[in-house]
Amino acid sequence: MVLVCFLLDLCSLSSPLLRDLKQSLLQLANLYTVSWNWRNKSDSLGDRIGLCYVIKNRISSSDELKVAYSPRVDFSLRDFHHAVNSLPTDSFFPEINDSGSLSCHAMKLASVLSDQVLYSWGGKDIVRKVIVLSSFLPENIDSALKETLMDAADKCVSVEFVLLEQRSNHLSDIRDNINSFARCISDLDNCSFQSYLPEVKVFHGLVKQWLQDLRDDTEEPLQARFIFNSNLAGSLKQISCNLSASVNHIIDGFNPCKTCRCHGVPLCNAEKSRIEGPSCAVTFHDLGAIDVIDNSVKVGENTILFMPSFQSSMKLQQVSSPVDFNIIERTNLGSLSEGVIFGNPYFVTPSASPEIEAASDEMDQLELNFQLFKGLCSALQSLDQGLVCSSNCNIESMREATFHCYYILQPSDNGPMLLRRLAGSEEVLPFSDVNQFIDHSVPKEIEISIQSSLFKLDSRDYNPVLYERGFHQKLNLLVKESLQFG
């Protein structure tokens, strides 16, 4: 398990930069809350996020470390939001030294890597990581800090320095400073350094990286082998691979629920509660009306928010036909990654609306609808493009979604079109291992050997009728065995 502690150098973070960083931390907490549960069957959401910051005392001019949020047993989305939103916004305090360059404040890293803070969080077997976020970095690391970092390595603690470079006319060139700092930590195996320009895409990518850090213990890729009938190279007939998910399903909305006042957990057995009365899901004791909190909202499986009495949420409603899809834009199918397409595909064919079917004199409208469909399909096919659509309906569940659902409408050659679900920004997972195989060159003899092996395989258009899975054979055997018992 990995516990991640964020250390923010507020002295170096301007107001716009801090605002974007706070939004990123809130997004991380939101995704952690809803995306953990379907992969981990635990009854609770473990708390593995810490938040600290450094500010300058205006009176003593000394740097001070503050702990905004320390991990508990269960993660509290509400308390973490409160901690992030309460970060001081007036602590930006850059200093110019005699050479005209910006001097960096001590990041109080030694105070974080201590028994009073980081080492007191989590159990003995947990792996800890500190992410330092700053706009300025020191040119050198003194011997005391280096010793602290080496001691952290002995305790399986990694430290990642993230520099958010600022573009401003009054700032001097910090490239030499960056290179000097990178050399200082190059011999420390537990330390890493990354520099970014603070842009929207950068913050979006950082959130996904941090989410992966929190979920490393559940995100081990599935090992797979692709086995061929003939040798690919030498005596090898197989290629070993990792299978990793490309998208992470998020929920379509938040449902209201009733919770017990004693433990704050949803009432068990809703049907029993309706007939016999509510009971506590922990003690199973019967509850009176005063013992029940009516205004609670369930976020994911394990997180409950208690709401004011005047605020409520609507349950997701079943969608009635027809379902509306709003066309947003065209997209080149050749550039569309199959990794962002998920869910069940739906064939799309032209049909008559109820209004057209009810009016016998509207047959020309019916014919026009068919012509428009065929014309659209033909035009998209010639452009090799599809249409990106949005809807307030999740066609997997046929329920209204609180958030937008995106779809791709793909053409075919003289046939029906295909509607498939597209992942949104919150659902896409990072894929960081792509450079591991892109940088490898393939010798000519291996290319020839692989082509020779491929040419030994039959080549034909896929027809599912030709590929039986054995369902009928297996079920027939089960029924036959069952009949033996009379």
> What is the chain's mean pLDDT, rounded?
83
* Lowest-confidence region among 3-12, 71-80, 250-259, 305-314: 305-314
Is residue 5 within 8 A of residue 131, CB to CB? The reply is yes
Can you give the pTM of this predicted structure? 0.81
Please tell me the predicted confidence (pLDDT) of residue 422: 94
List the beta bridge partners of residue 305.
297
Please tell me the predicted confidence (pLDDT) of residue 37: 44
pLDDT digits (tens, 9 = 90+) for 5-15: 999 999 889 99
pLDDT band at 138 (very low <50, low <70, confident <90, very high): confident
For residues 139 and 333, the model is more confident at 333
Distance from C-alpha of 209 to C-alpha of 156, rounded to nearest angstrom: 20
Please tell me the predicted confidence (pLDDT) of residue 88: 93
Please tell me the predicted confidence (pLDDT) of residue 169: 40
pLDDT digits (tens, 9 = 90+) for 15-25: 999 999 999 99
Please tell me the predicted confidence (pLDDT) of residue 170: 44
Please tell me the predicted confidence (pLDDT) of residue 353: 67
Please tell me the predicted confidence (pLDDT) of residue 409: 95
Q: How is the chain split into domains, by residue range?
A: 2-218, 255-306, 326-422
Give φ, ψ of 34 to 5 degrees: -100, -20
**Containing H/E element for 49?**
strand 49-56
**Residues 286-308: what's their mean pLDDT?**
82
Please tell me the predicted confidence (pLDDT) of residue 56: 85
> Do β-strands 303-306 and 292-299 pair in parallel, antiparallel, or remain unpaired?
antiparallel
What percent of the chain has pLDDT above 90?
31
Q: Cis link prior to 71 (omega < 30° from 0)?
A: no
Q: Is the pLDDT of residue 39 over 70?
A: no
Q: Is the pLDDT of residue 286 over 80?
A: yes
DSSP secondary structure code for residue 355 in this structure: H
**Residues 405-432: what's their mean pLDDT?**
87
Q: Is the pLDDT of residue 293 over 70?
A: yes
For residues 94 and 460, the model is more confident at 460
* Lowest-confidence region among 131-135, 136-140, 360-364, 472-476: 360-364
Distance from C-alpha of 298 to C-alpha of 255, rounded to nearest angstrom: 6
Is residue 329 within 8 A of residue 388, CB to CB? The reply is yes
Residue 172 CB neighbour total at 10 angstroms: 12
The Cα-based distances of 320 to 242, 393, 394, 405 in angstroms read 41, 10, 12, 16
pLDDT digits (tens, 9 = 90+) for 140-190: 677 888 888 999 998 889 999 999 987 654 445 567 777 878 888 888 889
Q: 């869910």: which residue's tokens?
A: 343
Distance from C-alpha of 6 to C-alpha of 188, rounded to nearest angstrom: 20
pLDDT band at 36 (very low <50, low <70, confident <90, very high): low
Q: Left if phi > 0, otherwise alpha if psi is -120 to 50, otherwise beta: which for 126?
A: beta
Q: Is the pLDDT of residue 355 over 70?
A: no
Helix axis angle for 200-214 and 15-35, nearest 10°, is 40
Cα-trace Rg, the chain:
29
Q: 């040119």: which residue's tokens?
A: 139
Fold held by 2-218: Rossmann fold (3.40.50)
> Do β-strands 385-394 and 95-96 pair in parallel, antiparallel, or remain unpaired?
unpaired
Q: Is the pLDDT of residue 265 over 90?
A: no
Q: Is the pLDDT of residue 287 over 70?
A: yes
Provide CB contacts within 8 A for 444, sequence distance 6+: none
**Residues 443-469: what's their mean pLDDT?**
89
* Lowest-confidence region among 102-116, 193-207, 254-268, 351-365: 351-365
pLDDT band at 264 (very low <50, low <70, confident <90, very high): confident
Please tell me the predicted confidence (pLDDT) of residue 322: 86
pLDDT band at 29 (very low <50, low <70, confident <90, very high): very high
Residue 177 CB neighbour total at 10 angstroms: 19
Q: 């939004």: which residue's tokens?
A: 23
pLDDT digits (tens, 9 = 90+) for 60-91: 778 889 999 999 888 999 999 999 999 998 88
